[in-house]
Amino acid sequence: MPQQNGNDSPAGPGGSGAKPGTDIEDLLRQGQDRLKQIMLSGGPRGVIVLVVLALAGLLAWTAYYTVPSDSVAVVQRFGKYLKDVPPGLHFKLPLGIDAATIVPVKRQLKQEFGFTTPGASDPYQSPRDGKRETRRETEMVTGDLNAALVEWVVQYRISDPVKFLFEVREPSATLRYVSESVMREVVGDRTVDEVITIGRQEIETEALTKMQALSTKYAMGISIDQVQLKNINPPQPVQESFNEVNQAQQEKEKLINEARRDYNKVIPLAEGEKDQRIREADGYRLKRINEAEGDVARFSALLAEYSKAPEVTRRRIYIETLQDVMPRIRSKIIIDEQTRSILPLLNLDSQKGDRP
């Protein structure tokens, strides 16, 4: 942990601090002049003063430390846990008696599997982990015995710095092993089509739950925020064949969707026309039934009246019929039935143009 410079320490024995208005360069120059005088004076006294000054500078250098705003410091005394220190400027026993370890508890850390982003490595990753084989950790077998290359990212926070530092020997490596084991288990329970296409969100959710459960069980002091799948591809030898199969499946889905579109366009129209024809037929049927029933009722009422007075009814029917027929006849010839001497003659040729 880099420490701050102690330029504001006292000038030395017998000296006083800078007067008001004296800048830092004057103080340094005065200190150098006094140190030269002591060294030039020689003798054991000069050596002792020099050693005392060096020891005082070392004590001042190792006695204070600063904790960033997104971290806490875990203080150990002779290797034993002492306390947690919040952000700010703090002091401790110097010369290695107290050791302060800065832990970023408010910062989100991440581990990448199958790829590496420059400048985004895990600060707690050991050198041995940095030389890992990214391709090996992405090679997985799915539930239908197919191979897949799975790349993912685990984002986490340090929830308990004491457990994170002391409960597990290498927390970053342990988290990698836990994450890889859980991801292989989750992927192994699904088919390759589910892993590559529709099952990504379910895999992320299930893997997050299982990783957090194992982290709690191992007392790692880690809270996992998110598990995100990146690229999922088949192995390189079958990449071309898999792309062809995937393209064929997409073409199949396209044709099915087009057929469904045409079906949804034609079938409702035909069903609408069918319903319209059925309703028209029902209307015509009801119309004919009502007309027939009306004619029957009219005839029954007329028959009842006719039975009461046949002559009157016959005459009324005759008159009503003539009232209906006579207006449609253009030429009317009326002959008296009592005329006997004149031969009735009806010129049919002259009446052809008079017909309606």
Candidates 98, 103, 210, 227; CA nearest to 163 is 103
Q: Are 213 and 251 part of one and the same domain? A: no
Asked whether residue 289 is domain-assigned, the answer is yes
* Cα within 13 Å of Cα(20), Cβ side: 0
- For residue 20, the tally of other CB atoms under 10 A from its CB is 5
C-beta separation of 70 from 106 below 8 A: yes
Q: Are 244 and 229 part of one and the same domain? A: no
Q: Which pLDDT belongs to residue 260?
A: 92
pLDDT digits (tens, 9 = 90+) for 263-276: 998 999 999 999 99
Distance (Å, rounded) from C-alpha 283 to C-alpha 321?
31
Q: Which pLDDT belongs to residue 345?
A: 62
Q: Are 142 and 118 part of one and the same domain? A: yes
Q: Are 178 and 222 part of one and the same domain? A: yes
Asked whether residue 334 is domain-assigned, the answer is no
C-beta separation of 74 from 162 below 8 A: yes
Q: Which pLDDT belongs to residue 224?
A: 94
Asked whether residue 302 is domain-assigned, the answer is yes
Distance (Å, rounded) from C-alpha 5 to C-alpha 61?
7
Final residue in a domain of this structure, among 234, 265, 290? 234
Residue 73 is part of which domain span? 24-103
Q: Which two tokens stand for residue 79?
A: 């290797």
Asked whether residue 212 is domain-assigned, the answer is yes
Could you say which residues of the chain have pLDDT below 50? 1-22, 355-356
Asked whether residue 347 is domain-assigned, the answer is no
Asked whether residue 10 is domain-assigned, the answer is no
132 conformational bin, left if phi > 0, alpha if psi -120 to 50, beta if neither: beta
Q: Are 132 and 195 part of one and the same domain? A: yes
pLDDT digits (tens, 9 = 90+) for 103-139: 999 999 999 998 888 766 566 665 555 555 677 888 8
| 172: amino acid identity, one letter | S
17 conformational bin, left if phi > 0, alpha if psi -120 to 50, beta if neither: beta
C-beta separation of 173 from 137 below 8 A: no
Q: Are 298 and 245 part of one and the same domain? A: yes
Final residue in a domain of this structure, among 182, 199, 234? 234
CATH number of the structural domain spanning residue 174? 3.30.479.30
Asked whether residue 352 is domain-assigned, the answer is no
Q: Which pLDDT belongs to residue 122?
A: 67
Q: Are 216 and 245 part of one and the same domain? A: no
C-beta separation of 157 from 108 below 8 A: yes
Sign of the C-alpha dihedral, residues 294, 296, 297, 298? positive
Q: Which pLDDT belongs to residue 13?
A: 35
Q: Are 184 and 255 part of one and the same domain? A: no
Sheet holding 98-103, edge to edge: 80-85, 72-77, 98-103
Q: Which two tokens stand for residue 36?
A: 């030269």
Asked whether residue 4 is domain-assigned, the answer is no
- For residue 147, the tally of other CB atoms under 10 A from its CB is 13
Q: Are 159 and 224 part of one and the same domain? A: yes
Q: Are 126 and 223 part of one and the same domain? A: yes
pTM over 0.85: no
Q: Are 116 and 87 part of one and the same domain? A: no
Number of domains forming the structure of the chain: 3
Final residue in a domain of this structure, among 187, 211, 234? 234
Q: Are 113 and 225 part of one and the same domain? A: yes
96 conformational bin, left if phi > 0, alpha if psi -120 to 50, beta if neither: left
